[in-house]
Amino acid sequence: MKLDRVELRRLRMPLVSPFRTSFGIETVRDVLLVHVVTAEAEGWGECVADAAPAYSSEYVDGAVDVLRRFLVPALAEQDHLNATSVAPALARFRGHRMAKAALETAVLDAELRMRGVPLSRELGAVRDRVPCGVSVGIMDSVDELLDAVGRYLDEGYLRIKLKIEPGWDVEPVVAVRKRFGAELPLQVDANAAYTLADASQLAKLDAFDLLLIEQPLAENDVLGHARLAALMRTPICLDESITSARAAADAITLGACRIVNIKPGRVGGYLEARRIHDVCAAHGIPVWCGGMLETGLGRAANLALAALPGFTLPGDTSASDRYYHADITEPFVLHDGHLEVPAGPGIGIEPAQDALDAVTTSSEWCAP
């Protein structure tokens, strides 16, 4: 394939309710879609960068700039472009994994559509539906939290994840365990809000049989996670620290984690995500697929990844209505706690033009 043109489309997607984590509150998502056009096929990718550099150093305006000025022109030089050639072509540009992931995904989608192959089959999926958990943000009160958890369980979600931060950790876990019982699959996510000095507070969570505690310390403190892991019974899961297959191998070798959350956008794309899956499988480390408030486009691709054999824990691949009143694709609907993996070629789903246009705030075409 050779690139004909690339569209960078911005969307404004209001959330069903505010989503609060240790690094801020989101009420609206500023979505960047990458749409590639070749002579043979078209493809879509979703950039998961936030509007501000809080979760990571990347942000939407920066992603647009680096795509427009560097990444798209670099791929335009390729006469025989395919998904596996994207990362090498972009390697000279440091960082910007979320922008690179969106572009690689769009190329991969176009290539697989041309070949008539579903992304799930290309990645090595073994399931046609995946179990789903839900991420519950920090609330103003414990009563509000319990109401939210109860609604999600009534909707059929199979696992609950609570966002935590200093001052909102043990109390909400105690309340959820008391209300919903010890059998509820429950985990917590700190989004790097703690330091090793908080080890004694975090160790109090050991009493509640959690599936895991996700990214308690800073993303660059892998050694600190290894030390914390030696002090806690609850398994440590790394998220922000896992930026590549090599980073995953290093963290496992150091004993910094017993579980890994794989977010394709954070690691540079679905091909690198598959490599991380393979590294973890080789070391007996279970993985699960994290979420970044994706639209149906990103959700479809995440489901394909989550259908691989090493994904043995429910991920954050929630139904469309968890975050949006109206999605830009056919909505993903929960059935018996599971979502179906799209079976069509590529990511298996396309945006509905009217729905897409209704939330588009800008669109520009980058001509190679």
| C-beta of residue 297 within 8 angstroms of C-beta of residue 274 | no
Chain length of the chain: 368
> Which residues are tagged catalytic?
163, 263
Distance separating alpha carbons of residues 177 and 81, to the nearest angstrom: 52
Residue 284 has φ and ψ, to the nearest 5°, of: 70, 25
Q: Can you tell me the distance from the alpha carbon of 137 to that of 133, in angstroms, rounded to the nearest whole number? A: 13
Q: Which amino acid is at 237?
A: C
Burial class of 333 by CB neighbour count within 10 A (0 to 12, 13 to 18, 19+): exposed
Report the C-alpha gap between 44 and 297 in whole angstroms. Answer: 7
Cα R_g (the chain), whole angstroms? 20
Amino acid at 86: V
Collapsing DSSP states into helix, strand and coil, what is residue 67? helix
Place of tokens 């033009």: 353
58 membership: H or E segment, kind and range: none
Q: Backbone phi, then psi, for 77, in 5-degree steps?
A: -75, -15
Name the β-bridge partners of 315. Answer: 132
Decide: 262 and 254 in contact? Cβ < 8 Å.
Answer: no
The vertex-220 CA angle with 52 and 227, nearest 5°, equals: 135
**Class of residue 209 by CB neighbours under 10 A (exposed 0-12, middle 13-18, buried 19+):** middle
Using CB atoms within 10 Å of the CB of residue 347, give its burial: 0 to 12 exposed, 13 to 18 middle, 19+ buried: buried
Residue 342 to residue 232: CA distance in whole angstroms: 39
The CA distance from 228 to 203, in Å, is: 9
The C-alpha atoms of residue 72 and residue 66 are separated, in whole angstroms, by: 8
